Amino acid sequence: MRRVVAVLLVALFVFVTTLIVVRFVPGAGQLFGPTQYDTYADGRCEVTENAVVRLSHALLGRPGPKDTMLEVVVSDSRGPIAGARVHARAAQKEARSSPATTTDATGRARLKFTEDTRVKNAVLDVDATGFSLVHREVVVDGSVIAVKLISKIPLTGVVLDEDQKPVRASILGNGCGPIVETSDTGGFELSCEANFRVWVSARRGEREEDAWRIDGVGVAPPINAKVVTLKARRRGAKAVFTLPNGASPGSDVMLTQQDGKDAELVYAAWQKGERFGFIALEPGHWWVYFRRVDEPNVLRRSEFTTTEEAVTELVLPRDAPVVAFPD
């Protein structure tokens, strides 16, 4: 009888000790099974804990979340920046807090993380109107994080046709903000990220009669005071491609010449539904690249030949060879 009582007392001691350790020692409950985190598109995060953790919290109370503060000071070469947007996310696995705020008149922003354990590292995004975005990981140790923003650089350009006349077009630059429309003189101005290569191109429309072939142009840093000229063309061969059933009309159809005279990618001048139109093509042998909707990460390639002023109409084959993205 004494042995039974002793065994029961030992078991009770181990049971109570286990519950106490799980309650007060961070991470101890994971020894009995991992915590499951289910996230949803609307931002909800459902947490499912193992039975030992749930019992410990039911009997001894759930530990309160730990608040961690992060202070950021944002400035440029002229001084503090008020109204800068500051967003942070705890870098630890299964982080649930993602505070965001704007800087005050002194350029300061204070963000509070609420997690089960103290936040040690965070991913920080800082941007402001007219400045390039800063994205970096920081250590959260109580010190103030200083962020220096760099002003975006204006990039001006003009779109001209074969006769040097202005063309109306929609212009998009990589890292240069929203699409802009050219003026009556064909001019445009973009506000671009500093210190990296910019690719400027024209957006296609839906009407063939309004279409131009406007090839993109790369601009290497520093881009300050550079003027970009985009050449708009209509003269030459045409090609119209219809995507097969099951292909993705949302992805670009692209061309490159096989003979190497024009290594640059050529994008469609117009698109309507599943039909993509190309104009001002040079005579020769061309590769055409496309993706299917059931294979969004797979690039396929077919080929065709153009002659002077000819119009080529093709339905792209579903079983075209799989290839790597053209350099």
Instruction: Show the domains of the chain with their CATH numbers.
Output: 2-60 (no CATH), 66-148 (2.60.40.10), 153-233 (2.60.40.1120), 237-323 (2.60.40.1120)
The token pair that represents 274 in the structure block: 């599943």
Specify the residue for token string 């503060």: 69
| pTM of the predicted model as reported, rounded to 2 decimal places | 0.55
Model pLDDT, residue 108: 92
| Widest Cα–Cα separation across the chain | 108
Model pLDDT, residue 27: 64
Give bridge partners of residue 73 from the DSSP assignment: 108, 146
3-state secondary structure labels for all residues of 17-60: HHHHHHHHCCCHHHHHCCCEEEECCCCCEEEECCHHHHHHHHHH
Specify the residue for token string 């692209």: 254
Model pLDDT, residue 102: 92
Report the range out of 23-27, 50-54, 93-97, 126-130 with the highest average pLDDT. 126-130
Bond into 222 cis (ω within 30): yes
> Residues 242-253: pLDDT tens digits?
886 655 545 668
Q: Does residue 200 have a pLDDT over 60?
A: yes
Please state, in angstroms and rounded to a whole number, the distance separating the CA atoms of residues 151 and 295: 40
> Residues 49-74: pLDDT tens digits?
777 666 666 665 565 556 778 899 99
Please state, in angstroms and rounded to a whole number, the distance separating the CA atoms of residues 199 and 325: 17
Q: Is 228 exposed, middle or buried (0-12, 13-18, 19+ CB in 10 A)?
A: buried
The token pair that represents 90 in the structure block: 């705890």
